[in-house]
Amino acid sequence: MKARVTVALLTGALVAYFYLLGQRGVYLVETGTAVGVALGIGVLLLPVIGVVLVVFELRFGAATARLARKLSETGDLPTDEGLTRRPSGRIERTSADAYFETVRTRVEADEENWRAWYELGYAYNLAGDRKRARAAMRRAIELEHR
């Protein structure tokens, strides 16, 4: 629930920012000068790009949350229990890497299993590789839709 409130607040802040940026773009276009119009068009494109990116991120978050709910209902949601932790509470890199290797083996054995890909994304995240974690989650979403 805390994450949803944070997402809502940040999205609201972005909407306000996009609105203000749009106002500045309109102001620049209204100057009528070639430079002002060119800059204004460029500034007006920024909120459009921003809205598209925010929508993509919100859809990705909703899809991963839906998969997590499905896994939670069946008791298959991956956890980091049993992994070695540092005194700070963060997971030891060697422990995360070992967990990753076991999950990677499961994915290689059944590459069409969205649950395995979800867990691989979770393992990548634990290992600190956010880019590959997101790619694995996208693959899980794609496979689950089939």
pLDDT of residue 145: 86
Buried/exposed code over 61-71 (b: 16+ C-beta within 10 A; e: otherwise): eebbeebeeeb
Residue % of the chain over a pLDDT of 90: 75
**Reported confidence tier of residue 110, pLDDT bands at 50, 70, 90:** very high
Of 83, 114, 87, the C-alpha closest to 100 is: 83
Average pLDDT of span 38-64: 95
